[in-house]
Amino acid sequence: MAVRPIIRFPDPRLRQKAEPIIRIDEEVRALAADLLETMHAAPGIGITAPHVGVMQRLVVIQLEGGIQPHISVNPEIVWSSPETIRHVEGSISMPGVNDEVERHARVRVRYRGLDDREHEEEAEGLMAVCIQHEIDQLDGIFWIDRLSKLKRDRLIKRFDKLQRVKA
Protein backbone atom coordinates (compact mmCIF):
# COMPACT_ATOMS: atom_id res chain seq x y z
CA MET A 1 0.00 0.00 0.00
CA ALA A 2 1.17 3.48 -0.83
CA VAL A 3 -0.09 7.02 -0.56
CA ARG A 4 -0.33 8.35 -4.12
CA PRO A 5 -0.20 12.01 -5.15
CA ILE A 6 -3.66 13.52 -5.56
CA ILE A 7 -4.30 15.59 -8.67
CA ARG A 8 -5.56 19.09 -7.89
CA PHE A 9 -8.23 21.29 -9.39
CA PRO A 10 -8.22 22.52 -12.19
CA ASP A 11 -6.38 19.47 -13.64
CA PRO A 12 -8.31 18.51 -16.82
CA ARG A 13 -8.32 14.82 -15.80
CA LEU A 14 -10.91 15.73 -13.16
CA ARG A 15 -13.32 16.41 -16.06
CA GLN A 16 -12.59 13.19 -18.00
CA LYS A 17 -14.83 10.15 -17.98
CA ALA A 18 -13.14 7.10 -16.44
CA GLU A 19 -12.95 3.81 -18.33
CA PRO A 20 -14.64 0.63 -17.08
CA ILE A 21 -12.41 -1.96 -15.44
CA ILE A 22 -12.48 -5.09 -17.57
CA ARG A 23 -10.74 -7.53 -15.23
CA ILE A 24 -10.43 -7.44 -11.44
CA ASP A 25 -6.90 -8.63 -10.76
CA GLU A 26 -4.08 -7.98 -8.31
CA GLU A 27 -3.31 -4.65 -9.98
CA VAL A 28 -6.88 -3.43 -9.32
CA ARG A 29 -6.77 -4.74 -5.75
CA ALA A 30 -3.43 -2.94 -5.18
CA LEU A 31 -4.91 0.28 -6.60
CA ALA A 32 -7.88 -0.07 -4.21
CA ALA A 33 -5.48 -0.48 -1.27
CA ASP A 34 -3.50 2.58 -2.40
CA LEU A 35 -6.71 4.59 -2.76
CA LEU A 36 -7.75 3.67 0.78
CA GLU A 37 -4.34 4.71 2.15
CA THR A 38 -4.37 7.93 0.10
CA MET A 39 -7.91 8.79 1.22
CA HIS A 40 -7.00 8.32 4.89
CA ALA A 41 -3.88 10.48 4.48
CA ALA A 42 -5.76 13.30 2.70
CA PRO A 43 -7.98 13.01 4.90
CA GLY A 44 -11.27 12.24 3.21
CA ILE A 45 -14.23 9.85 3.23
CA GLY A 46 -14.30 9.08 -0.50
CA ILE A 47 -11.87 8.80 -3.39
CA THR A 48 -11.84 7.59 -6.98
CA ALA A 49 -9.03 6.31 -9.15
CA PRO A 50 -9.19 9.52 -11.26
CA HIS A 51 -8.27 11.51 -8.10
CA VAL A 52 -4.81 9.93 -8.39
CA GLY A 53 -4.67 10.21 -12.19
CA VAL A 54 -5.79 6.64 -12.98
CA MET A 55 -8.74 6.91 -15.36
CA GLN A 56 -10.56 3.76 -14.23
CA ARG A 57 -13.97 3.27 -12.59
CA LEU A 58 -12.94 2.44 -9.03
CA VAL A 59 -14.37 4.05 -5.87
CA VAL A 60 -13.41 3.75 -2.20
CA ILE A 61 -15.68 5.20 0.50
CA GLN A 62 -15.26 4.92 4.26
CA LEU A 63 -17.52 7.02 6.43
CA GLU A 64 -16.30 8.10 9.86
CA GLY A 65 -16.91 5.26 12.28
CA GLY A 66 -17.19 2.81 9.40
CA ILE A 67 -15.32 -0.40 10.10
CA GLN A 68 -15.00 -1.66 6.54
CA PRO A 69 -14.37 0.50 3.49
CA HIS A 70 -16.92 0.32 0.68
CA ILE A 71 -14.98 -0.53 -2.51
CA SER A 72 -16.84 -0.58 -5.81
CA VAL A 73 -15.66 -1.40 -9.31
CA ASN A 74 -17.69 0.04 -12.20
CA PRO A 75 -20.46 1.40 -9.95
CA GLU A 76 -23.67 2.67 -11.49
CA ILE A 77 -26.78 4.16 -9.96
CA VAL A 78 -29.77 2.09 -11.06
CA TRP A 79 -32.43 3.99 -9.09
CA SER A 80 -32.69 7.26 -7.19
CA SER A 81 -35.44 8.58 -4.96
CA PRO A 82 -37.45 11.61 -5.99
CA GLU A 83 -36.72 13.12 -2.54
CA THR A 84 -33.57 15.18 -2.23
CA ILE A 85 -31.28 16.30 0.57
CA ARG A 86 -28.69 19.04 0.82
CA HIS A 87 -25.26 18.25 2.20
CA VAL A 88 -21.98 20.14 2.45
CA GLU A 89 -19.47 18.62 0.01
CA GLY A 90 -15.85 19.18 -0.92
CA SER A 91 -13.07 17.27 -2.65
CA ILE A 92 -9.61 16.00 -1.82
CA SER A 93 -8.64 17.51 -5.20
CA MET A 94 -9.81 20.93 -3.99
CA PRO A 95 -8.98 21.01 -0.27
CA GLY A 96 -10.03 23.83 1.99
CA VAL A 97 -13.33 24.76 0.32
CA ASN A 98 -16.80 23.27 0.41
CA ASP A 99 -20.41 24.15 -0.28
CA GLU A 100 -23.88 22.71 -0.02
CA VAL A 101 -25.01 20.45 -2.88
CA GLU A 102 -28.45 18.96 -3.51
CA ARG A 103 -28.55 15.20 -4.15
CA HIS A 104 -31.07 12.35 -4.15
CA ALA A 105 -31.85 11.23 -0.59
CA ARG A 106 -31.63 7.52 -1.50
CA VAL A 107 -30.01 5.57 -4.32
CA ARG A 108 -29.61 1.97 -5.41
CA VAL A 109 -26.18 1.20 -6.78
CA ARG A 110 -24.89 -1.81 -8.74
CA TYR A 111 -21.17 -2.57 -8.75
CA ARG A 112 -18.60 -5.34 -8.69
CA GLY A 113 -16.62 -6.00 -5.54
CA LEU A 114 -12.94 -6.89 -5.42
CA ASP A 115 -14.22 -10.48 -5.18
CA ASP A 116 -15.45 -9.98 -8.80
CA ARG A 117 -19.05 -10.62 -7.75
CA GLU A 118 -21.89 -8.29 -8.68
CA HIS A 119 -23.57 -6.46 -5.80
CA GLU A 120 -26.62 -4.22 -5.61
CA GLU A 121 -27.54 -2.21 -2.54
CA GLU A 122 -29.45 0.84 -1.40
CA ALA A 123 -27.92 3.75 0.44
CA GLU A 124 -29.37 6.81 2.11
CA GLY A 125 -28.15 9.95 3.77
CA LEU A 126 -24.42 10.59 3.76
CA MET A 127 -23.58 7.28 2.05
CA ALA A 128 -26.03 8.10 -0.78
CA VAL A 129 -24.43 11.56 -1.11
CA CYS A 130 -20.92 10.04 -1.25
CA ILE A 131 -21.91 7.44 -3.86
CA GLN A 132 -23.45 10.11 -6.10
CA HIS A 133 -20.47 12.44 -5.60
CA GLU A 134 -17.90 9.76 -6.49
CA ILE A 135 -19.84 8.36 -9.46
CA ASP A 136 -20.13 11.94 -10.76
CA GLN A 137 -16.33 12.10 -10.55
CA LEU A 138 -16.03 8.89 -12.56
CA ASP A 139 -18.29 10.50 -15.17
CA GLY A 140 -16.09 13.61 -15.37
CA ILE A 141 -18.51 15.76 -13.37
CA PHE A 142 -16.53 17.63 -10.73
CA TRP A 143 -18.61 18.41 -7.64
CA ILE A 144 -18.57 22.20 -8.20
CA ASP A 145 -20.46 21.61 -11.47
CA ARG A 146 -23.51 20.97 -9.23
CA LEU A 147 -23.35 24.57 -7.93
CA SER A 148 -24.80 27.69 -9.50
CA LYS A 149 -22.35 29.66 -11.64
CA LEU A 150 -22.21 32.40 -8.98
CA LYS A 151 -21.43 29.96 -6.15
CA ARG A 152 -18.94 28.06 -8.33
CA ASP A 153 -17.07 31.26 -9.31
CA ARG A 154 -16.88 32.41 -5.67
CA LEU A 155 -15.65 29.02 -4.54
CA ILE A 156 -12.94 28.90 -7.24
CA LYS A 157 -11.76 32.39 -6.22
CA ARG A 158 -11.63 31.27 -2.57
CA PHE A 159 -9.67 28.14 -3.54
CA ASP A 160 -7.23 30.15 -5.69
CA LYS A 161 -6.65 32.53 -2.78
CA LEU A 162 -5.97 29.59 -0.43
CA GLN A 163 -3.45 28.18 -2.91
CA ARG A 164 -1.61 31.53 -3.15
CA VAL A 165 -1.44 31.77 0.66
CA LYS A 166 0.08 28.24 0.87
CA ALA A 167 2.69 29.01 -1.81
Whole-number pLDDT of residue 73: 98
Average of per-residue pLDDT across 143-166: 95
Query: How confident is the model over 33-82, as pLDDT tens digits?
Result: 999 999 999 999 999 999 999 999 999 999 988 789 999 999 999 999 99
- To the nearest whole percent, how much of the chain has pLDDT over 90? 94
Domains belonging to the chain, first-starting first, are 12-166 (3.90.45.10)
Q: Is 100 a catalytic residue?
A: no
Q: What is the pTM of this model?
A: 0.96
Whole-number pLDDT of residue 51: 98
Average of per-residue pLDDT across 103-121: 98
Query: Quick one: which H or E segment has residue 112?
Result: strand 106-112
Q: Please list, in sequence order, all residues whose beta carbon lies within 8 angstroms of the beta carbon of residue 140, skipping any fewer than 6 positions away.
A: 14, 15, 16, 17, 18
Amino acid sitting at position 112: R
Query: How confident is the model over 11-41, as pLDDT tens digits?
Result: 999 999 999 999 999 999 999 999 999 999 9
Catalytic residue among 83, 121, 122, 134: 134
